[in-house]
Structure 1
Amino acid sequence: MVMGLILGTLQLQEKSQQEAGLFRELSIAKQRIQLRFANNTDLMQSMGREFIGSNNYDKAKNNFTAEAETLVHANHEIIQILWIDEKEQKQLSIPPSNIKLDWLRTPNNSPIVSEALKKAIDLSAATNRAAFSKYLTITIPGDELVGKEIRDVFWQTVPQFSGNEIRGMVAVLYSTQGILDIIPGELKGQYRFTLITDEDKVLAISSDKNIPKRAFSNQTSLDLGVLSPNLSLRIDTYPPPTNLSFRMLIGVVLGLSAFVVWSLWSVLKQMQVRQEAEANLRAETNFRSAMENSTPVGIRAHDMNKMITYVNPAFCDMTGLSADELIGQKPPFVFWPEADKDALNEKINRALEGSMGEEKKAGIEGSIVHRNGTIIQTRTFISPLINEKGKQTGWVTSLIDISEPKKIRQELAAAQDRFVTVLEGLDASVSVVSNETGELLFANRFYRDTFGADARGHFDLVGIDAVAPPINSELESEEIQLLNESTGISKWYEVRRRFIPWVDGHLAQLLIATDITVRIEADDLMRQHEERMQFTSRLTTMGEMASSLAHELNQPLAAISNYCMGVAKRLQGHMDPSVQNDILPALEKASSQAHRAGTIIQRIKGFVKRSEPQRSSCDINDIINDATGLVEIEANRHRLSIRSHVEENLPKVDIDPVLILQVLVNLLKNSLDSMREAYPISSRWSAPPVTISADLETSTFPAMLRIQVRDTGAGITENVLERMFEPFFSTKNDGMGMGLNICRSIIESHQGRLWAKNQMDEEQIKLIGCTFTILLPLEITDSGASA
């Protein structure tokens, strides 16, 4: 059987080598054909570019004709080359149709050849690539030799571009029989090549000679281009004749087989003699076997090479293996656990070498694996085996089953599994991380579904990158918020943690995290409702205070104004003219400011009551001058300055001058406060001034009046910039947080906009001040007035 298998293998190997050689030759032929078509396409592109790129048509035509004739004579697969202009008209034909190509004009061939050429031209024009036509079967009457060589033909069209436009095409008529001439002659002498289509239609064949049934064949697809039709190349070969060496090999195999049969017959004779000797020994060993089989202790014997030579039934029951499977094994044994093989192998080597010392008396603790996978814990005792001559011939080992502790551990494991099942069913995350290594020791289902299978989620809940040393063993509880980076959803967790001793004796951190997002959201919603109620209450109180203050302050301000005017009238005509020129203007200004203060209070009172601004056509230059005049005294007191710039010929705007003046005064004071914080008092005289400017914003339609208050202070932080216009929000210790909110409300009541933007130093990347921008419409619409 072995010899027969060898012969079959050799024959298969020889067949495989022949098939590999056949595939290699087929690949060579395929590469030659593909390379020829690629070269032809490149030549067509080059010829077409020279033709359409030349300024001399006659010279270009002669060059194209010469190159095409050379190509037709050099390549047997090319029948004809045509130059077709951009109107799809044939301009050149190489060779001319009247030279050995009369069959192209026959009634049977001309329509199908022209139609195939037309379809190839349309396909090239649509795809801007070289395209192929379908295969055409033509007939050439009167010339059997030419008809055999030119039976199946097809067109290839190569578009020629000038810029992005097609200026013409080169069309090539190929013969399928000529394609086989591309294959080297030595290959065609050894193999038969056939061109076939997808429908197994034979287009061309290199030889008409039939091949025997045992011939090897292979087939591959010819990819001639992107838009080429499917064409396959098949190769057939003849098997080599049976040689003398193969016959000699068969003879040698038959001889060896006869020798094996004779050897088996000799061995059978020797076995008969041996059986007689074994019968005598069997009687002597039966008594010993009866004693060994009656004990529950597993016994096995080893020779001096540590190979098992004997096992009793008790040992077979321990391992679940038969005696035949056990006898002959050497360490490491198959019944040893895979993980303990190295350790057990070291122990038995030390025991057999006699280096165990006192440990030998206590036995060797280990474990064996039953065939069904059960692990049995054992204790092994080893003693030398001495023959009748007093010479040691091996060892005898006895094994005692000590698996009872294993049963106890299994019960503990079952209890642990029940406990883990309970933890897996909790709707809270439970995780344990080693305090020494940071390794995730345990994680329940909720933790794995929420944070994954690593310790990263545990550390995120703790808020640190590693487990901190324990301060105490008490249960610590806190609430934290985590953002899920994959979903972008933020959740709140109530985290309870404590340090516990793990099963290996090392300290570990237990963490229980409960999702309290719903509760936090409910608390936050309740807090927002309370804040809205407080905000509404404070706004109501402020409105009442504004009304009360307006009522209380109007009378003192009116009295001040009357007193100032009365004093001015009494002083007129009773004082020195020089003194009168100094005192009377001051008294008039004081009376005017008292009157203005009363007007401001009345406007604020009306604004709180949601009344409309009292608009009038105003010059913004006058309002800016009044604002800078009111704030300039405070600026000089703090060693700061204010500079105004108003664009010339600004149109008048329909606004409430008192309210807009109050807004500009508020913004200028805020800018002065920012400058005071940014510059110490010793360097304020050199500080840049606070600037207020007015111009037209033409980027909007219609154009609007733009007022900007700019300072070079410390700027505004992002968190303050987001909330600075909210009611009752202030960064000043004595501020009420209503100034900027009222300013924005005043501007919005004028259908305008107010915002703030920090100025950045691009080189040093730092804040260099802030700019408040006001946009006011030049004309107030009716919809805006009613709003």
Structure 2
Amino acid sequence: MVVDPQAPELTVSDFRSLALATNTCLLLHDAATKRILWANPAACELLGWSVAELRPLTASDMSSSAQQYDRVLGRAWLQVAAETGVNRIEWHYRTRDGRVIPTEAVAVRVELAQGPALLVHFRDIEREQAIERQLRLTTSYVESLAQHTSTIAVMLDAAGVVRFATDTALAALGAPAEREPGRLEDLARITVGSAPGGPVGWTAVAATAAPVTHVQLDVTRPGGERAWLEGTLEAVQGGDEQDGFLMILHDVSDRVHGQLRRQRELHQENYLARYNAMGDMAMAIAHELGQPLAAAYNFLAGAAARARTAGVRRPRARTRSRTASRAPPGRSSVPGRSSTRSGRSWGTSSRSSARRTSTGSSTSASTSCSCGPRTPGSRSAWTSRPIPCTCAASAC
């Protein structure tokens, strides 16, 4: 009994049993003539022929009729495998009922007891190709949607690296379309919550997405323009692990600019209100201080003027009184003034004399004394004051 030294538990017949039991389709070709020598049950079931029916068939009988699967191309593929040892190709086999099955085939050169041979093992990839076509179609849909939608959508991985973004999102974030955007933290300052505080790191943002959180982005674009984006960050679950995050944003720059403008206007209004209040207060203080200060100033100025005037006029009045006492009778002591003017000091005597004249007691309208004839109301020409009488007459 022949055994394999690497697997002494297995005999040659055991390897034959393994080849018959595998689900991988096996075809054995002669290395020189390329004709089929043997096929396992999996290959016979897939193609619909038995081993006896497969042996006389050629590539034209069991391959697609498309030009890229011509018999000449099939033999050339096998010949390369015979020369190099292995060769891989996507080959379309045709079953007995005419159904074309796409397969992934690998031809390997093997040495048998009767000479070299080519062992071709292939598998049905029709289902895989259908899934691949569906994925390609979905990808084209997503790319078309990303190019024409106005939604700002960004896909990120667990590390915060942008894996996919719509064209609108790239423009909003200020990222170039010709290269990878990179980390979101490098493109914008992120804040969390509807009433955000300061910027936070991606780790803190990802921790709050359970499963959705509100985020705001403060973006400074290449030209220096500042923009604000607002939206949600949602954790995308893939099985038991977290595959990434989906961020849906919308531009709120106009609203934020309006709020900032309103804040500036409110600040200016408050400043003007304080300025007007200070002006009114200053006017009130000036009014309250100005009245007593003006009154005090006027009083002091009047007192000073009165003091100066009194210091000059009083000696003159005494001089004029002495001059009047030396004046001859019948002459006024004031040059250029008539002595017939009545002074205020003698108004009572004049009125008494007038009454006596009307009753027959006196016939004179004026009174004479040693100072000379005087009439009531006589005043000094310089001081505008009544000239006093210096005699001791009882009439005065």
Query: Which TM bucket (shorter chain)?
Result: 0.3 to 0.5
Task: Please report the TM-score for the alignment, with normalisation by the length of structure 1.
Answer: 0.24
Task: Please report the TM-score for the alignment, with normalisation by the length of structure 2.
Answer: 0.43
More helix by share: 1
Larger relative contact order (CA 8 Å, sep ≥ 6): 2
Larger Rg: 2
